[in-house]
Amino acid sequence: METPKEIFLKDYKKPDYYFDTVTLTFSLGEEHTIVSSNITVYPRIEGESSAPPPLVLDGVDLKLISIKIDGKELQKEEDYHLDARNLTISSPPSTAKFTLEIVTEIYPQKNTSLEGLYKSSRSFVTQCEAEGFRKITYYQDRPDIMAKYTCRVEGDKALYPVLLSNGNLVEEGNLEGGKHYAVWEDPHKKPCYLFALVAGQLQSRDDSFVTRSGRKVSLRIWTTAEDLPKTVHAMSSLKAAMKWDEDVFGLEYDLDLFNIVVVADFDGAMENKSLNIFNSEFVLVSPETASDAEYARIQGVIAHEYFHNWTGNRVTCRDWFQLTLKEGLTVFRDQEFSSDMGSRSVNRIEDVSLLRKNQFPEDAGPMAHPVRPHSYIKMDNFYTSTVYRKGTQVVRMYKTLLGSQGFRRGMDLYFKRHDGQAVTCEDFYAAMRDANDADFANFLLWYSQAGTPTVKVTSFYNSEAKTYSLKFSQQVPPTPGQAVKEPMLIPVAVGLLDSNGKDMPLTSVYRDGMLQVVSTDGQPAYTTVLKITKKEEEFVFVEISERPVPSLLRGYSAPVRLMSELTDADLFFLLAHDSDEFNRWEAGQVLSAKLMLSLVGDFQQNKPLSLKADFVHGFKSILTDYTLDKEFIAKAIDLPGVGEIMDMMDTADPDAVHAVRSFIRKHLASELKAEFLKTVENNRSSDPYVFDHSNKSRRTLKNIALSYLASLEDAQITELALSEYKTATNMTDQFAALTALVQNPGKTRDDVLADFYGKWEHDYLVINKWFGLQARADIPGNVENVRKLLKHPAFDLRNPNKVRSLVGGFCASPVNFHAKDGSGYKFLGEIVLQLDKLNPQGASRMVSALSRWRRYDETRQAHAKEQLEMILSTNGLSENVFEIASKSLAA
């Protein structure tokens, strides 16, 4: 294949032409769809004496019917050039404005890429981010082209009674031949990636929200009639998000109508102006069919897409390199919302856990890139954990440095300056800096340097001077294309604990010999934020009456790897006493990781495995501390994952880490069997399902206790789990019991899986959970079972949810995906090539599981390399898969 073209941030140029208004007409058909566009065009620079530059439009998989300028039809070769990617108008008019009319023919029924306009079941639906609009009509498909849109949709009234697009409905009526039409007008300028259209047989849940200025907004969630009862939680989440955004950021909704459409075949969720489109798994829930985690996820995703109305829509990205400007900021906003709706400390733990699980490995692999990438081949490949989750931490650092009020001032100035504009990360940075007259030396490096910084800390207590010093050093590791890194601004939130476990008052600290006051209004602080800006830096606290135990990086104040000289005794002390719940959890995780790494060494040397009594005691003290939040306890007793431990090893050994983690779980279950049984018993409830923090916490703790017990392979425990499964009144408890029962192969496992499928075979979202559970199983040789499930009548390779559940689930199984015989890698290689023909975006996400193949032993490396070479040698490979596979192989 021809080597795809790489696009670079440094090559960005303003467009030669802008679009003012866009009028679209869609004539939806069963064989094809006709799209007519009428665009008002004006040059960026008016009145040039030289010939005007060509107008280059993007277009893929389109059949051009006609093209006119100011009513005059253009002739091919003479007036324009057409190739597989672009339509180039050689000599546009030199007038101040002109009208461009284009008619194209497209084939939504044949479009399986989930981009552009396509059919999902019986409905037409669009997905235009990042570059899907070019599959609808010829256009300047880039986010800095912002225009006002009017859209007319025509279709068969019986087949497509509901016709939706962006903005407000301004006209509708009947046409000849059983057709009808609807005209939608969006008064706000937007880039084409926010355009949306839906047509189908849908019904809506209707509600309303009155903004603080008195505007009554109609709210509608559209789905199929049978799924309408499952939209209650989504509607309440939407109303809660609208109120929260007003209360916290002063941001109101700006139209009279807000629509959400639920689609089975859709990649994620999309914030199209006033017409959000969601994959069904991000909207549809009921107590019987969805877990607490899914309720929480839906609450967050509904809020995320709504929050984009301001951070993404009203203020958008100048170019796709700035993606974190809208996504990192909006994820930060949805995390804050979720924290206010539940437990802030538990949500912080979950967010950091996901960062470490997904983004840290990405930052250490061949696809490592800054939160604002320098280049890409396919932008679709850069909707990554780095852009989203590390980008979120960059936004959070602004708040850590400025405080809540300072951050709000920065947000207000950002909107005041840039409402209605397409902007850059520097514009957001400038608003935060200028609103607070702040010194952000080195901070912009977070946008341009890849890699996870390592921060090392040493301490010294001077008993005579009553001072306590912390010496920091930082290093950002080399990453592809970036060998040498500069020191960054790293905010480290610090507290000091006395011998009784109480926070010590902090009044002042010396930095480079300069005294800095920590207290506020004469009142001592108990947490202060130290700004690390150099490769090495020392801070000296004064008036410290005894040697403290430091609580470092409180609340995880920066996305770094922290290395300290804290002893096990210090960590147990922090686990028992730290007032910062994140750091209390972190102390337990560090202890567990140290233990697991030590036992992995023993396992590899065939030494017997054993647990120290102090670890079991510390674990028990958390499990039985009834003063703690129950969900926090559940997080605190959950061991680090296999992937997280492998990430700490020079050569990853999935078999050894899995064996050690299983040993620890089984040993703890055996030693603390009575305590786990009591935890299950004390947290049962027959009350009707309620999704709130109290009930969610209770269920979470009960079910992790049951999971530990199930590792014992004890007949009494099996009966307990079966009883929990059969008597469960909600999916959270039923699926947790099912998960506990399928840990061990045998008749009970087979019977309960068959029973679950029999109960839920008509609910495709529940069956996706069933697929995922089996795919993730650590039973040796599970790849053959997964191959069989590919042929199951409920599986469909064209559906992204099913692919994520089965194929993505299998790749998350360290034992089977990384099987030493290469069977897991071979399975993935075959699937990637099949999927690439249907959905290149989905295929590229799957092949990324092979990206860190050099982390493993030589045998596994050889098998993984063989699959990457096989993929790259395939004719007709998509650019999406080529980019990931080629960079992975070259690492």
Kindly tell me if the per-residue pLDDT of 377 is higher than 90: yes
User: Which CA distances in Å does 863 have to 89, 713, 828, 849, 856?
Assistant: 49, 34, 12, 13, 11
List beta partners, residue 458.
471
pLDDT of residue 51: 86
Kindly tell me if the per-residue pLDDT of 586 is higher than 90: yes
| pLDDT tens figures, 12-44 | 999 999 999 999 999 999 999 999 999 999 999
3-state secondary structure of 720: helix
Largest distance between two CA atoms of the chain: 94
Kindly tell me if the per-residue pLDDT of 49 is higher than 80: no
* Average pLDDT rounded to a whole number, residues 701-716: 96
Structure tokens at 788: 């069989």
Determine whether 49 is exposed, middle or buried from the number of CB atoms within 10 Å of its CB (0-12, 13-18, 19+): exposed
User: Which CA distances in Å does 813 have to 462, 809, 810, 817, 849?
Assistant: 50, 7, 5, 6, 11
Enclosing H/E stretch for 620 = helix 613-623
CB 206 within 8 A of CB 184: no
| pLDDT tens figures, 199-233 | 999 999 999 999 999 999 999 999 999 999 999 99
CB 28 within 8 A of CB 124: yes
List beta partners, residue 563.
456
pLDDT of residue 706: 98
State residue 515 phi and psi, 5-degree precision: -80, 130
* Average pLDDT rounded to a whole number, residues 590-604: 98
Selection from 275, 110, 116, 262 nearest residue 765 by Cα: 262
* Average pLDDT rounded to a whole number, residues 290-301: 98
Kindly tell me if the per-residue pLDDT of 682 is higher than 80: yes
Q: How confident is the model at residue 707 (pLDDT cuts 50, 70, 90)?
A: very high
Give percent of the chain above pLDDT 90.
96
User: Which CA distances in Å does 875 have to 96, 147, 630?
Assistant: 47, 39, 54
CB 279 within 8 A of CB 266: yes
* CA dihedral for 675, 676, 680, 681, sign (positive or negative): negative
Amino acid at 697: S
CB 144 within 8 A of CB 161: no
User: Which CA distances in Å does 362 have to 466, 559, 564, 890?
Assistant: 43, 13, 24, 15
| pLDDT tens figures, 407-450 | 999 999 999 999 999 999 999 999 999 999 999 989 999 999 99
* CA dihedral for 187, 190, 194, 198, sign (positive or negative): positive
State residue 40 phi and psi, 5-degree precision: -90, 120
pLDDT of residue 128: 98
The span from the CA of 498 to the CA of 65, in Å, is 78
3-state helix, strand, coil in the chain (%, to 5): 45, 25, 35
Kindly tell me if the per-residue pLDDT of 579 is higher than 80: yes
Q: Which residues are catalytic?
A: 305
* Average pLDDT rounded to a whole number, residues 288-304: 98
**How many CB atoms neighbour CB 723 within 10 A?**
11
| pLDDT tens figures, 84-124 | 999 999 999 988 899 999 999 999 999 999 999 999 999 99
Amino acid at 422: A
Cis peptide before 130 (omega within 30 of 0): yes
List beta partners, residue 98.
41
pTM: 0.97
pLDDT of residue 521: 65
Please state, rounded to an integer, the average pLDDT across all residues of the chain: 97
* Average pLDDT rounded to a whole number, residues 126-154: 98
In the 8-state DSSP scheme, what is residue 617?
A: H
CB 477 within 8 A of CB 454: yes
The span from the CA of 385 to the CA of 536, in Å, is 29
Determine whether 371 is exposed, middle or buried from the number of CB atoms within 10 Å of its CB (0-12, 13-18, 19+): buried
The span from the CA of 646 to the CA of 654, in Å, is 7
Measured at the CA of 886, the angle between CA 883 and CA 889, to 5 degrees, comes to 145
Q: How confident is the model at residue 520 (pLDDT cuts 50, 70, 90)?
A: low
| pLDDT tens figures, 243-285 | 999 999 999 999 999 999 999 999 999 999 999 999 999 999 9
pLDDT of residue 519: 67
pLDDT of residue 95: 85
* Average pLDDT rounded to a whole number, residues 65-80: 96
3-state secondary structure of 821: coil
| pLDDT tens figures, 745-773 | 999 999 999 999 999 999 999 999 999 99
CB 293 within 8 A of CB 342: no
Give percent of the chain above pLDDT 70.
99
CB 414 within 8 A of CB 427: yes
Structure tokens at 587: 């102390």
pLDDT of residue 514: 86
In the 8-state DSSP scheme, what is residue 282?
A: G
* Average pLDDT rounded to a whole number, residues 735-752: 96
CB 308 within 8 A of CB 317: no
Kindly tell me if the per-residue pLDDT of 1 is higher than 70: no
The span from the CA of 146 to the CA of 117, in Å, is 20
**Contacting residues for 211 by C-beta, under 8 A, at least 6 apart:** 217, 242, 246, 252, 253
pLDDT of residue 182: 98
Selection from 418, 396, 430 nearest residue 328 by Cα: 396
* Average pLDDT rounded to a whole number, residues 347-360: 98
3-state secondary structure of 104: strand
* CA dihedral for 717, 719, 721, 727, sign (positive or negative): negative
| pLDDT tens figures, 687-702 | 999 999 999 999 999 9
Measured at the CA of 514, the angle between CA 509 and CA 515, to 5 degrees, comes to 40
Selection from 226, 34, 202 nearest residue 120 by Cα: 202
Kindly tell me if the per-residue pLDDT of 172 is higher than 90: yes
Q: How confident is the model at residue 46 (pLDDT cuts 50, 70, 90)?
A: low
